[in-house]
Structure 1
Amino acid sequence: MKLLTKGARDLPERQRTLRATMEWSHDLLEEGEKVLFARISVFVGGRTIEAIEAVCDAEGDLPMEALDGVESLVDKSLLRVEGIGGEPRFVMLETVNEYARVKLEESGEAEALRRLHAQYFFSLAEGESGTFKGGGRAEWFQLLEDEQDNFRAALSWSLESDEVEFGLRLAAALQPFWTRRGHYGEGRRWLEDVLEKQGPASAVARAEAQNAIGWLAQWQGDIERASNAAEEGLLLCKRAGIEASVTNHLRILVGFTAEMLAHDYKRANDLFEESLELSRKAGDKWTTAASLLHLGDVEDEQGNHAQAVELYEEAIALCRKSGYTVLLADILVNLGYTRLLQGDYERTTALCEEAIALYREQGYRYARIEFPVDNLGWAAWLRGDEEKAEVLYQESLMLCRELGNKLVAAESLQGLACVAGKRGEIERSARLFGAADSLFRARNISHLPAERALREPYLKAALAPSNRAAWGAGSTLTFEEAVEYALSGNQSSLPALPRLEQPSTRE
């Protein structure tokens, strides 16, 4: 851009010609077009006509109709149209966009436009985030996918401008999108950044952000980080006297992590019961169903499978009646695992296949699907279908690698260890068990007796003194190395998974 703006006389002719061409094109614009041309550069990657009107003419001071100006800039090749067939998006070549940004800076409107841009995208995220509980609108999530660069720009602006409250609220509002699309890592990084930023912010905004990062960490299997976030968020709510939906969500997350990390079933049960009582009083059916789900988990982990099924079934009925599609799928997965422990492998398969169909229907490409796929692997294994189990475990691992979910990956590694053990590949089995054990230990997670029983007698063989070296070698593998080793077996029948997302400049 320096070549376009500084005009050094010793520049090569080609570069001076490019700058002159840009200036010539700009000089030919009418005054209203010049204003729009500069303002439109505040967007990153692309923009819709609705966004252009909302941001570039927020004060009604654009000297021309925004749509007329956009059409004129397209006619003059300063904008191009993409997305014909859906909602059109207007894109500038990066060289043109940078020149327009220079004009925006020269106009003195740059900071005001960046604020308007950030506020518009905040309203887009916050205005529809409530649809997540009811399943959400697939088109909304696709719109957010298309606008990722603009959301990143808005979050960057909040950090650079010390708009801490705004950054916390925007990042929290984006959590349902990051969850659904499997952008756990990016979401957590933004949330960590805004939470670390010093500045004035309300307790509820900080609690919402802690809740958001806690659930993202939980879905990645990072239970300790989820626990820290949940405890801090709930403490904020108590100190500030906040009793809102976020408080109940934090209660549930604290209870979940207490159950997972310490097997503190009493504390978990008390928190879930409190959440259930308060949500019923408030008429919050989604949190009521979520509380029932987690109460079922507590019963299940203590071996009270019949009681767990009753609680799951009550939650399922509420979700079906209220249209909570995603939560319904989550409960079906957990019920499927309970049925697995009860020996009803066919029912496990049916429940987990229904859950996958619901996730797919709601636009989930990867996220959450690793859970039912791993369950399906164990159902196939326990039915005696070794080959199908192997394929499912490997599919689960591929999903976990994309999502960074080390906890479910450890479960699938143990499944493949059982397959190897049955085939007489004892050293490979011990390596895989060792790799899985290392991941569990890193997450401070231990197996319940019922879960451990599923892995016998192959776990016992892998623990034999003669296999200590192989176990130890497996335990030193990194997550990526462990997955690569596990997938080095037969992959001929595995479907190829595309990469989850292209890394952003930030990543």
Structure 2
Amino acid sequence: MLSVAPVGRFAELLRRHRAGSGLGQRELARRSGLSERAIRDLERGVRAPRTHSARLVAGALELAGDDLSAFLAAAVPGASVPDATPRPPISPPDRLVGRDTELRSLLDLVTGARHRLVTVTGPGGIGKSRLVAELAVALAGRTDLAVCALDLSTVREPELVGELVADALGCGPSRLAPVDRIAAQLGERRVVLILDRFEQLVAAASEIAALVRRCSGLTVVVTSQRALRVRGERLFGLDPLPAEAAVALFASRAAAARPGFALDAGTRPAVARICRRVGHLPLAVELAAARVRLLHPAELAERLDRQLAVLADGARDLPARHRSLRATIEASLDVVSADARILFRWLGGFAGGARLGDVEAVADALGRDPIWVLATLTELVDIALVRVAAQAATSRYLLADPMAELAGEHLRGDDDHVRVERAVAARMMRCVLHGPAVDDRDAANVRAAVSWATLHDPALVDDATAAALGRFYESTGRLREGQNLLSRLAVRGPKMAWVRAGHLASLRGDLTAAIALAGHALEKSDHLVRAAALNLLAQATVEGGDPTGGRTQLRAALVAARRAGDVTMIGRVFNNLSAVSIELGRPRDAERQQRAALAAKRRSGAAPMELGRSLFNLAEITLELGECATAAARAADAVPLLREGGYLRLAALAETTAALAEIRRGDAVAALAAVERAEALLAGESGDDRRMTAIVGLRVSVVRHATGDRSGAARALRAALPPALEHNTRDRDEAADALHAHARHLVDRDPATAATLLGAGDGLRRRTPTATIRAQRDEAAAAARDALGDTDFAARHRQGAILDLSGLLDLCADVAWRADGV
């Protein structure tokens, strides 16, 4: 711990050291160059010492080592007295793991003298002190240079740095300034000076830079969480350990904590999971490894949601800041300004990081201006409490899990936490509704904002915001999460939340939940919510196999939408009327209704996503009508609009519509290009929207088969079938269409497998296929029957019709095996 030194402490030390030296006040005054009265006043404590005067008196008293450090520290009001003296390099008690490359690079920098001021940077716990300790040991055996290591962790006063360095380098007492004394002492000698924990002393950076300029043989290696920002500085940044190195470090420290511990099939996966959870941060890995005294790694991995509590059992001989992850972060906070600590606390209100505009909006609501935000955020980034991640044309400011945990604790302990939390929630709701656009990276913030509003201030979310939230959860594929959050919000908040929750349930294939949620919305609703609820109810009814009943509900929805005067809603109803016409085998009516939907949406100034959806539906209809060139063009027009709205899954589906159209036109190159674009749009997509991904996969499999990639087609089909068959929805018809398409492409090579595929498709189908699909199916069936004969065809067809999912998946592999002619 650090002790505070009052003015009286200096007077006491002065009296004690003067008495010990046998000097009177007059003689001490003569030797130091001060007046006798000045010495007398200093001893009585009636005069506060100046740093220069304290140095002169210390030189006259010939103080050194601990005595000198304590004496000079006591001269600064409120100063802290170092509790340890600089130590010569000694071998650390444990082996350095995972930093061999960094150590070699640092040794090369130091011994080559290409850079004579090297700052090792990185967040607390990254291993800066450990690395330079190993550097000191590696250099200690050399005869061409001297090594001096100085631990500054207990020093808080930049004005003491020069004196402490001079003392560590063996400079005697003098009236000269520290830089002059050190330069005289070292001359051109080759010396490596290691200054550990400099982040709280960066105000002394210019003195260190001057020292390097004055001493041609001196190389200074500094560890600091922030750069010194002086000329000639060479930054040496430390990153978290590579995954394998982190696992090796865990194993090494765990074996020391629990003899006999070893990585094996039972521990390695859990250890790797632990290392990932703690971000491969060396200190966190070591603290986690210490816990194997009590916990199996699998048990430990399950308890890392509260890292600050779990990672808190470091060795007693470590510095206090290294005995727990909490202490490490708190030590970093100790060296930043009060404003930076305030902003750190506010950032605890963002569950998923924040963009600059987000932080500025919250700060503005709390009475701070943007310049304050930028300056304060810079301080937090400089000391690595906050990291910056690139995000399109902006940046996202993130807290690592333990830092976010601590920031959240500090925020909840603040009297102003409700204002901060409300400001964050209001900002996220505004972004969802008006922009800037939010995407999957904002999911944690949106989730937290909806949860907070549900509990504390439902008025933050109106009908329009609830609808926007539904679009957000649809576009990010977080269907179950959105359904649950919006359902809870609807109990106390806007009725539109019931509708949006029901729409997400429908997308998941849970038609029972969709109908129930639509029913909740119909209770005591205005015209607009009633229209939206009836539209949802009709969608679920049609999807459940009752297009006639759905049409009746849609007509009622159209009446309510017109009464509400909402042209966008009128467009959505026409969109679903078009789907009913397709179900009833009336594609021309469907096209007319979809054109009306598109026109209504355009009149209302609907969002790009709404326009893109209608263009996609028109592409599907014209593909059914056999107008392949028009279908491909409409799909191509839909894709950028859907992408702009963040609906990447639907954009991928539109690309497969274009691909199917190109296949029918005979352009395999264009079809493959569209399929590859669809797969690229889905790459990295998260969430639980398995249905849309499955439909894309089914279509990709058909196009790949048609273009000769039969193995790729079988893989895509095998991956897409399970989610497509999870619910009794129209997805089964998509699967049936795909199986029939595969049969058509396979029948010339293997009519027996084609007949089985036809039977499997017929067994899955829920509704009458469209005319185009029916014609293609009948064509493949006729070819298979001609090749096999009626009896064999019927047997194969029956075999396919009774296949369960396991049998269907086996059939996919059989398709690839047969088709490749093996």
Q: Same fold (TM over 0.5)?
A: yes
Alpha-carbon distance in 1 for matches of 2:701, 2:663: 14
User: What is the match of residue 67 of structure 1?
Assistant: 374
CA distance, structure 2, for counterparts of residue 319 and residue 200 of structure 1: 30
Q: Which runs of 5+ in 2 are unaligned?
A: 1-306, 676-697, 703-715, 726-730, 786-792
Candidates 430, 449, 456, aligned match of 1:154: 449
Q: Answer whether contact 1:401 1:483 (CA < 8 A) is retained.
A: no
Q: Which residue of 1 aligns with 2:503?
A: 215
CA distance in 2, matches of 1:352, 1:108: 54
Deviation at 1:104, TM superposition (A): 3.3
Max Rg structure: 2
Shift of 1:227: 5.8
Q: Deviations over 1:22-53 (max 9, x none)?
A: 43332233333322222322223321233224
CA contact (8 A) 1:255 1:272 kept: yes
Instruction: Evaluate the alpha carbon distance shift between residue 250 and residue 111 of structure 1 in structure 2; reply closer, same or farther with a 3 A threshold.
Output: same
1:476 aligns to what?
805
| Aligned positions of 1:134-283 closer than 5 A | 140-141=436-437, 143-155=438-450, 173-181=468-476, 183=477, 186-192=478-484, 195=487, 201-202=492-493, 205=494, 207-219=495-507, 222=509, 225-226=510-511, 228-229=513-514, 231-240=515-524, 242-265=525-548, 267-283=549-565
Q: Deviations over 1:273-297 (max 9, x none)?
A: 3333443444322222222333333
What's 1:103 paired with?
410
Partner of 1:45: 352
Partner of 1:447: 768
Aligned partner (choices 388, 392, 395) of residue 700 of structure 2? 395
Residues 226 and 257 in structure 1, CA contact (< 8 A), matched pair in contact too: yes
From 316, 327, 330, the equivalent of 1:10 is 316
Taking the TM superposition and a 5 Å limit, the aligned residue runs for 1:414-433 are 414-430=739-755, 432-433=757-758
Of the candidates 462, 466, 472, which is equivalent to residue 796 of structure 2? 466
More strand by share: 2
Query: Residue type matched to 1:458 in 2?
Result: A
Q: 1:307 — aligned with what?
A: 589
SS in structure 2 of the partner of residue 89 of structure 1? strand
Q: Distance in 2 between matches of 1:490 and 1:245?
A: 55
Q: 2:635 aligns with which of 336, 341, 352?
A: 352
Q: Of residues 365, 378, 396 in structure 2, which corresponds to 1:89?
A: 396
1:33 pairs, out of 333, 340, 347, with 340
User: 1:326: which partner in 2?
Assistant: 609
Q: Is contact 1:333–1:372 with CA below 8 Å preserved after alignment?
A: no
CA contact 1:345–1:383 (8 Å) conserved in 2: yes
CA distance in 2, matches of 1:11, 1:253: 65
Q: Secondary structure of 1:42's partner? A: coil
Q: Which has the higher helix share?
A: 1
Query: Please, which moves more after superposition, 429-438 or 29-38?
Result: 429-438
Q: 2:576 aligns with which of 289, 294, 308?
A: 294
| Residue pair 1:168, 1:191 contacting (<8 A) in 2 also | no
Say whether the 8 Å CA contact 1:435–1:482 is kept in structure 2: no
CA contact (8 A) 2:343 2:376 kept: yes
**For the residues of structure 2 that align with 1:18 and 1:188, how far apart are their CA atoms?**
34
User: More displaced, 482-491 or 417-426?
Assistant: 482-491
Contact 2:353 / 2:399 at 8 angstroms: preserved in 1? yes
Structure 2 CA distance for partners of 1:10 and 1:428, relative to 1, 3 Å: farther
CA 1:352–1:415: 2 relative to 1, 3 Å: farther
Q: Aligned residue for 1:132?
A: none
Which segments of 5 or more consecutive residues in structure 1 lack a partner in the other structure? 129-139, 493-507
AA matched with 1:46: G
Higher RCO, Cα 8 Å, sep 6+: 1
Identity among equivalent pairs (%) = 22
Are 2:567 and 1:285 aligned? yes
- Is contact 1:39-1:104 (8 Å) kept? yes
Task: Say if 1:39 and 1:340 are closer, same or farther in 2 by CA, change over 3 A.
Answer: closer
Bigger drift between 163-172 and 299-308 goes to: 163-172
Structure 2 residue identity aligned to 1:150: N
2:552 counterpart letter in structure 1: D
Structure 1 residues 357 and 431: alpha-carbon distance in aligned structure 2, compared to 1, 3 A threshold: farther
Deviation at 1:176, TM superposition (A): 0.9
The normalised TM-score by structure 1 is: 0.72
Q: Distance in 2 between matches of 1:176 and 1:487?
A: 39
Counterpart residue identity of residue 312, structure 1: Q
Residues 209, 7 of structure 1: CA spacing in aligned structure 2 closer, same or farther, 3 A cutoff?
same
**1:133 — aligned with what?**
none
Q: 2:511, 2:496 → 1: CA distance?
A: 13
Counterpart CA distance in 1 for 2:663 and 2:616 is 17
Give the AA of the match of 2:538: G
Give, in whole Å, the separation in 2 of the partners of 1:338 and 1:2: 57
Structure-2 change in CA distance of 1:465 and 1:355 (3 Å): same
SS of 1:35's equivalent in the other structure is helix
Instruction: State the Cα deviation string for residues 30-85 of structure 1 (Å, max 9, x = none).
Output: 333322222322223321233224445644389x9433322332343333333388
Letter in 2 for 1:88: S
RMSD: 4.5
Quote the residue 2:266 is aligned against. Answer: none
